[in-house]
Chain A
Amino acid sequence: MRTKLVFVALLAFMVSPALSFGAGTVSGKITYTGTPAKQKPIDMSKEPSCAKQHTTPVTTETVVTGANNTLANVVVYISAGAPDESSAPAQAVTFTQKGCQYIPHVLAMRTGQELKVVNADQTSHNIHPLAKVNREWNKSQPPGTPPLSEKFDKEEFVPVKCNVHPWMHGYFAVLKTSHYAISSDNGTFSLPKLPPGKYTITAWQEDYGTQTQDVTISGSETKNVDFTFKAKPY
């Protein structure tokens, strides 16, 4: 009996901060209808140091699907209604070039947040984010170079390519809000710690574009918001 009381007290203590902020959560799942295009094989034979790191065939990652028609690598974020944000977090986000691929394929970050670019390969890479709103840059990174440090000041979805290896491709999702998530391998996402209010939630997929939905959070509820994209066969 006493143990039970202590447990309940402990639970209440843990939950209380969330309750005191009245924080709600938006969570959901990203799915698609139709047939997505078959991902193309990537031939890395010209770069043996990368090719030997892969035991299974490498393909493009334009559309990454999971079981039950779910979509991974979709950026879900609050595009309107989010409270004023404090400055960017001090912690840097990391974008790694490994096996001549970008890890992760889609990297989300805050405006002004430090971005570290790591070359974990035994070959030179040349990272080139094709920014249009932000300043475009293009930096060579031979093997053994310490991580590059960069940041983006404006909100933008920036395609990233390697000038040396044409198959390498990824995205930076630079967002004004800290309320963002990237859908997992099974298509799920969660945007926690939302104060009560009316929000516009946007989901972005690199090939299928964006979708938005409005949601109102009152109190500490969890609202379910699902997105369904129409797949393109080619």
Chain B
Amino acid sequence: MGKLFAVIVFVIALLSAIPIITHSWFGSGISFALPEDISTHGHAIDDQLSDTMVEAGLSFLAAQFVLAFFVWKFSNRQANAEIKTFPGGAKGLVIAALVLVGTEMLALGILGQKAWAAVYFTPAKPDAIQVQAQAGQFAFYFRYPGADGKFGALHPDKIDEGNSNFFGLDPANDVDSRDDIVTGELAIPINREVHLMMHAKDVGHSFYVRELRIQQDFVPGLDLSVHFTATKVGKYEIVCTQLCGLGHYNMKAYLNVLSQEDFDAWMKQKASEQ
């Protein structure tokens, strides 16, 4: 019985390794693999994920194999066998394990800091395209400053969804807001940095685009932002990944990466609809 259990532990460890191995060493297109990366910063995050997977995966396998080995070795207990204590006590081993795991975590943190800093500690370039995002139950809306390059001020009391005033603009009194372009999709040009400024009008939401390797929460009352550069034309899904209420499952929008010409045409079209 004990030997069977040892074998089961061994088999479970091997099966668990499959997603780790496919994740790290095979390209996209198979399950468990990451979707294609379409951002300039994404490779750093993917490398970090691989490092973590390899390191944690090997430690996991080693621990499971040792466990299986001990179960196998000490499974044939005699009726009169006694439970033995570890020679010299387990204190040293526990300390060694803590130091080992601590070093591992610290190493990952130090290595990962670079990927993190590229997104969060480096400001967007001054010529980045400025876009505001407004998250609310249960849709995303985006705002471009329009021809004047200036965003109109936000007046939360003026938010009127029935009138499509999702940001709370006051065009009657605020000239800057009159040419602002509000859309339900996030269109951006390829190979240009985008500075996305994020607001939530009700509860916490999250902006997640798998292909961009970006996942950033919206927090009501906080001005949060991310910046990124997309490198491949296409339409990608933006989903909310913070449970935000009844319609959370349905809260999504599309990221539309366009060529510069198509983006200009799109912008012109949207401006005429406002």
Which A residues are within 8 Å of any B CB, using their own CB?
38, 40-47, 57, 60, 62, 123-124, 126, 140, 159, 161, 163-167, 169, 207, 232-234
Contact = CB atoms under 8 A, between A and B. Distances in A.
Count class of interface residues, chain B: 20 to 34
B163 A40 contact: yes
A46 B163 contact: no
Contacts of B163: 40, 60, 62, 169, 207
B164 A40 contact: yes
Interface in B120-179: 136-139, 161-166, 171-172, 178
B247 to A, nearest CB: 4
Contacts of B171: 234
Contact of B247 (A44, A126, A159, A161): A126
A123 B166 CA distance: 22
29 contacts: A38-B274, A40-B163, A40-B273, A40-B274, A43-B184, A44-B184, A45-B184, A45-B185, A45-B253, A46-B184, A46-B250, A57-B273, A60-B162, A60-B164, A123-B250, A124-B247, A126-B247, A163-B138, A163-B247, A166-B137, A166-B139, A167-B139, A167-B161, A169-B162, A169-B163, A207-B163, A232-B172, A234-B172, A234-B178
Q: Which of A124, A140, A159, A164 has the most CB of B within 10 A?
A: A164
Given A163-B245, A234-B178, 20 more contacts: A38-B274, A40-B274, A41-B164, A43-B185, A46-B250, A46-B254, A47-B250, A57-B273, A123-B250, A126-B246, A159-B162, A161-B162, A163-B246, A163-B247, A164-B138, A166-B137, A167-B162, A167-B164, A234-B171, A234-B172
B253 A166 contact: no
Nearest to B166: A166
Interface string B226-242: 00000000000000000
Q: Which of A41, A163, A169 has the most CB of B within 10 A?
A: A41
Contacts of A126: 246-247
Contacts of B136: 166
Contacts, number: 73
Interface of A is mostly: loop
Nearest to B140: A46
Given A45-B254, A46-B184, A164 B246 contact: yes
Contacts of A60: 162-164
Interface in B224-274: 245-247, 250-254, 273-274
B191 interface: no
A14 B175 CA distance: 60
B215 interface: no
Given A45-B185, A46-B250, A46-B252, A166 B138 contact: yes
A207 B172 CA distance: 14
Interface in B177-202: 178, 182-185
Contacts of A169: 161-163
Contacts of A42: 164, 184
B183 A43 contact: yes
Contacts of B273: 40-41, 57
A134 B183 CA distance: 34
A62 B162 contact: yes
Nearest to A160: B162
B191 to A, nearest CB: 24
Q: Top 6 nearest A-B pairs by Cβ distance?
A: A43-B184, A169-B162, A40-B164, A164-B247, A234-B171, A234-B172
A12 to B, nearest CB: 50
A234 to B, nearest CB: 4
